[in-house]
């Protein structure tokens, strides 16, 4: 009996299928099946029963699952105590952000933090930007990535993203080097929110304009781009959401450039933990300008 077999048993029980469990652990389905078959052979007892809709545990499998979970819990406790003994950082950290930062700025930051502080239990949570703000206000999370933070919030800057007009290839404005927000607002429009309160509608409102002909409203940036490609209208999207393949639509520039800023903010309702301070430190170093 080994760690891989115990992890496989727990993963299959929680996922309900070999395919989903293998994906969760990052192993091949055949490798996981072999690990569990070997475990059953060594024990001499069936742990799993394949069903048309997945995998179910036998009665003994359920009891074995409890022991496997306890065994892994004890192993993690051993690792934690060993890390504390050698001075490695431990603790837990809850970090929330909206979809586009999880697709751009956060992944390399999360990888770097986990490599530097493997003992910290980092829990990333993806939601819309308004809920990030609500969780920060309620103290439900330690840190959150917010849009356009005010100077009073002492946010750690994580980067910025330009707003760019996208137009069907045959649209009259597509032949221009730049277009104004007013011209976009007057055209048939595909509105995407990206799960954020800052979008083309709020930008138009701030400029004293109104999107006059919203043909369709979607949440996902990719959906808006696909609709523009099909000629449904023009749109305004963050530059980081543009695909590599841009056939069928034209990316332009705003005559008066606009951008959105990402900032890492701590909850005002809970003292920042040691783990949170370490993440802030990694974020500051990752975004600090390098000298030539």
Q: Are 173 and 126 in contact (CB under 8 A)?
A: no
pLDDT tens digit sequence for 88-99: 455 788 999 988
CATH code, 3-85: 1.10.10.10
The rounded distance, in Å, linking the Cα atoms of 254 and 238 is 12
The rounded distance, in Å, linking the Cα atoms of 12 and 61 is 11
pLDDT tens digit sequence for 234-262: 999 999 889 888 899 999 999 999 999 99
What b/e readout covers 99-135, taking b as 16+ CB neighbours within 10 angstroms?
bbbbebbbeebbeebeeebebbebeeeebbbebbbeb
Q: Give strand pairing partners of 192.
A: 218
| SS3 (DSSP) at 243 | coil
pLDDT tens digit sequence for 161-218: 999 999 999 999 998 889 999 999 999 999 998 878 889 999 999 999 999 999 999 9
Does 91-157+263-287 match 158-260 in CATH topology? yes
* 124, HSE (Cβ side, Cα atoms, 13 Å): 16
pTM for the predicted model, two decimal places: 0.63
Give domain limits for the chain: 3-85, 91-157+263-287, 158-260
Give the CATH fold of the 91-157+263-287 domain: D-Maltodextrin-Binding Protein; domain 2 (3.40.190)
CATH code, 158-260: 3.40.190.290
């Amino acid at each position: 009996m080994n760690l891989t077999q115990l992890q496989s048993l727990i993963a299959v029980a929680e996922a309900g299928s070999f395919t989903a469990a293998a994906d969760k652990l990052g192993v091949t389905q055949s490798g996981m099946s072999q690990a569990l078959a070997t475990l059953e052979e060594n024990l001499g007892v069936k742990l799993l029963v394949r069903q048309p809709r997945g995998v179910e545990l036998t009665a003994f499998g359920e009891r074995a699952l409890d022991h496997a979970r306890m065994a892994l819990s004890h192993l993690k406790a051993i690792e934690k105590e060993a890390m504390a003994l050698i001075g490695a950082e431990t603790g837990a950290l809850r970090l929330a952000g909206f979809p586009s930062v999880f697709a751009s700025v956060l992944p390399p930051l999360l990888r770097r933090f986990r490599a530097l502080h493997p003992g910290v239990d980092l829990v990333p949570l993806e939601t819309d930007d308004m809920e990030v703000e609500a969780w920060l206000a309620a103290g439900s999370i330690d840190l959150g990535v917010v849009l356009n933070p005010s100077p009073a919030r002492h946010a750690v800057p994580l980067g910025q993203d330009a707003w760019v007009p996208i137009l069907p290839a045959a649209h009259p404005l597509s032949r221009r080097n730049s277009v104004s927000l007013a011209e976009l607002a007057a055209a048939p429009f595909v509105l995407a929110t990206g799960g954020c309160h800052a979008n083309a509608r709020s930008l138009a409102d701030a400029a004293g304009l109104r999107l006059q002909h919203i043909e369709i409203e979607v949440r996902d940036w990719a959906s808006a781009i696909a609709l523009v490609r099909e000629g449904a209208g023009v749109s305004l999207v963050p530059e980081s959401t543009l695909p590599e393949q841009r056939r069928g639509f034209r990316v332009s520039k705003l005559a008066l450039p606009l951008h959105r800023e990402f900032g890492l903010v701590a909850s005002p309702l809970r003292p920042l933990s040691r783990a949170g301070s370490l993440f802030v430190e990694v974020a500051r170093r990752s975004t600090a300008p390098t000298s030539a």
